[in-house]
Amino acid sequence: MPPPHALVHGKTQRIYNDSHSAGCCLLTPHTHREAQQQQQQQQQAMAQGRGRAGQVFALGLLVLCLLLGAATAGAATYNVDWSFAADSWSSGKSFRAGDVLVFSYNPAVHNVVAVDAGGYNSCRGSSAAYTYTSGSDHVTLVPGTNYFICSLSGHCGLGMKMAVTAN
């Protein structure tokens, strides 16, 4: 709806309602044009501000993704030959904390138990030991030596155990 008009000095003038002041004011066509330009500039500045905020958000998200990617970029995944020769599988390999071992086996006849050095040497898991039973277990290495055994039917004593040191 166009702004109302008033008769001033024999000419029709627009009445401009300024929402920032207490009332309205009479504007000449020249002043009205300036007010429209100022309003357009304010709208453009607001749009640019929203655009900049979006750019800053996108940049922050990109940095976050890069940092998360850098934390896992060096991690390697190893498929473990989880069999009776597992104790020699890690020989000659270098591991780092964060690397992932994937144990693939038949869960009906094997398992993977994460144990300490005592459990590794005695082929016994403690009540605190974690037992994996899926047949496709992904285990992330922690710093130091990580010990694993199969606790079923004397398999550990037959060589189904492994010590992996992660630097």
Structure confidence by residue, pLDDT tens digits, 29-81: 556 677 677 788 777 766 666 666 666 666 665 555 555 554 455 799 999 98
CATH of the domain at 118: 2.60.40.420
Where among 73, 100, 133 does a domain terminate? 73
**What does the H/E/C string look like for the chain?**
CCCCEEEECCEEEEEEECCCCCCEEEECHHHHHHHHHHHHHHHHHHHHHHHHHHHHHHHHHHHHHHHHHHHHHCCCEEEECCCCCHHHCCCCCCECCCCEEEEECCCCCCCEEEECHHHHHHCCCCCCCEEECCCEEEEECCCEEEEEECCCCCCHHHCCEEEEEEC
pLDDT at 160: 96
63 and 83 share a domain? no
148 and 88 share a domain? yes
Where among 26, 52, 73 does a domain terminate? 73
Six-digit token pair at 98? 């964060």
- Residues 69-126 have pLDDT tens digits of 544 557 999 999 899 989 899 999 999 999 999 999 999 999 999 999 999 999 998 8
Where among 73, 95, 128 does a domain terminate? 73
19 and 34 share a domain? yes
155 and 103 share a domain? yes
37 and 57 share a domain? yes
Residue 136 to residue 102: CA distance in whole angstroms: 7
Range of the domain at 162: 77-166
Question: What total of structural domains would you count in the chain?
Answer: 2
Q: Pick from 38, 42, 31: which is nearest to 16 by CA?
A: 31
- pTM (2 d.p.): 0.57
